[in-house]
């Protein structure tokens, strides 16, 4: 059979829905992807306010600016912009805001509808399904490593914040773990590094008891701890699956 083909580096929501239905995903042109922006920094000695020699570190992020197309194309820049989507309390003032740890000037705009809501056609595919597959859209933090802590020794349990829906894990496909850290603004030091299940991992669940509400489970976080779920770790994309008896 040979090795599997190289996967597209970035999928849209439409790509995922097409793939979940058995279709082929078109590869996104490289010029249409956000560029990685790498920066080298130096630590500052607090007593002298000068560079602390030898203490270099590098950060990497994504450049969401308009990307140039290849020179042989008529349109020099891609149409549209990359944006960050989030949900929060109603009544936030729209307009210019300072965003992120570096307080970058950004534009805040409310949307009338959720552009990441489950498509109606995908929702209908769950009719009669006795199980489902979770694909992690973001890394997940579990107390038992690759295995969710809400599963018991028989690999059964209730999903977080979905009482009554009891499932049994039948299979899992995991590429590896991903290091998760960050900067603690209150303690002014790096947060402890955690091992997370990398985005893209797949978990096959059989429904043991209760009724699946696909719309309610779509893009909800499944990490063990509540704070990790609030931080968006373990967002679940789901597709129908019926286990073989």
Domains and CATH numbers, the chain: 115-241 (2.60.40.4350)
- Beta strands 166-173 and 156-158 are antiparallel
What is each CA distance from 204 to 8, 72, 169, 215, in whole angstroms? 22, 45, 6, 18
Which residues share a beta bridge with 237? 135
Residues of the chain predicted below pLDDT 50: none
Q: What is the separation of C-alpha 49 from the centre of its chain, rounded to a whole number of angstroms?
A: 38
Give the max Cα distance, the chain: 70
Predicted pLDDT of residue 205: 98
Query: Which tokens in the block code for residue 19?
Result: 């793939």
> Which uninterrupted H or E stretch holds 14?
helix 13-20
**How many Å apart are CA 105 and CA 36, to the nearest integer?**
20
pLDDT tens-digit profile of 11-32? 888 899 999 998 888 877 766 6
pLDDT tens-digit profile of 205-241? 999 999 999 999 999 999 999 999 999 999 999 999 9
Predicted pLDDT of residue 70: 61
């Amino acid at each position: 059979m040979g090795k599997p083909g190289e996967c597209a580096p970035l999928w849209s929501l439409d790509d995922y829905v097409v793939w979940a239905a058995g279709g082929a995903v078109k590869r996104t042109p490289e010029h249409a992807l956000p560029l990685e922006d790498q920066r080298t920094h130096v630590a500052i000695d607090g007593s002298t306010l000068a560079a602390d020699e030898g203490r270099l570190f590098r950060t990497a992020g994504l450049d969401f600016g308009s990307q140039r197309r290849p020179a042989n194309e008529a349109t020099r820049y891609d149409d549209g912009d990359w944006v960050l989507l989030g949900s929060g309390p109603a009544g936030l003032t729209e307009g210019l805001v300072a965003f992120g740890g570096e307080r970058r000037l950004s534009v805040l705009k409310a949307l009338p509808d959720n552009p990441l809501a489950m498509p109606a056609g995908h929702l209908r595919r769950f009719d009669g399904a006795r199980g489902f597959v979770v694909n992690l859209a973001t890394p997940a933090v579990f107390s038992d490593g690759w295995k969710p802590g809400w599963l018991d020794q028989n690999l059964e349990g209730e999903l977080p914040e979905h009482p009554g829906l009891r499932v049994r894990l039948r299979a899992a496909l995991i590429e590896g773990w991903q290091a998760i850290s960050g900067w603690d603004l209150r303690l002014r030091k790096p947060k402890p590094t955690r091992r997370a299940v990398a985005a893209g991992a797949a978990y096959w669940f059989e429904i043991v008891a209760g009724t699946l509400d696909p719309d309610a489970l779509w893009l909800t976080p499944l990490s063990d701890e509540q704070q990790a779920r609030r931080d968006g770790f373990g967002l679940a994309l789901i597709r129908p699956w019926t286990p073989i008896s």
